[in-house]
A = this chain, B = another copy of it.
Amino acid sequence: MERIPILKMGDLLLVTIQVDMHDRLAMTLQDDLTSRIVKDRARGVLIDISALDIVDSFIGRMISNTAAMARILDARTVLVGMQPAVAITLVELGLTLHGVQTALNVEKGVKLLQRSMD
């Protein structure tokens, strides 16, 4: 079960992160996601982190890198579902999610991506 599923919704892909990330899982996700962007001709990626209580520098960097990879493949990434405590911690620790847009939830993220794709 060491694989994070990627769900296709129209020309968007949705990834829900529920488990503790580690090196190998992050690499598998990046491999899978970049392959799927190309295969499904996706134009946007939604990463849902509503299940995460903590976003540390490792996860932050992984999300930034994933977004950068998607961008090169012409897909935009929106991070959705961040818990308030995670936002507080990110700012307090001075972590920035470079090159990643955020939205409150999946619905708002979909709208944001659709607006940007028009």
- Point out residues on A near B: beta carbons under 8 Å: 1, 3-5, 7-10, 14, 16, 18-20, 48, 50-53, 81, 105-107, 110
Q: Are B10 and A5 in contact (CB under 8 A)?
A: no
B1, B9, B50, B106: the one contacting A53 at CB < 8 Å is B1
Within the complex, the shortest CB–CB distance from A56 to chain B, in Å, comes to 13
How many identical subunits does the complex contain? Answer: 2
Q: Are B16 and A1 in contact (CB under 8 A)?
A: no
Output the nearest chain B residue to A20 by Cβ-Cβ distance.
Answer: B1
Output the nearest chain B residue to A49 by Cβ-Cβ distance.
Answer: B5
Within the complex, the shortest CB–CB distance from A84 to chain B, in Å, comes to 15
> In the assembly, what is the distance between CA of A50 and CA of B4, in Å?
9
> In the assembly, what is the distance between CA of A52 and CA of B4, in Å?
10
Q: Are A5 and B1 in contact (CB under 8 A)?
A: no
Q: Are A16 and B16 in contact (CB under 8 A)?
A: yes
Q: Which residues of B contact A7 (CB under 8 A)?
A: 14, 16, 48, 50, 81, 105-106
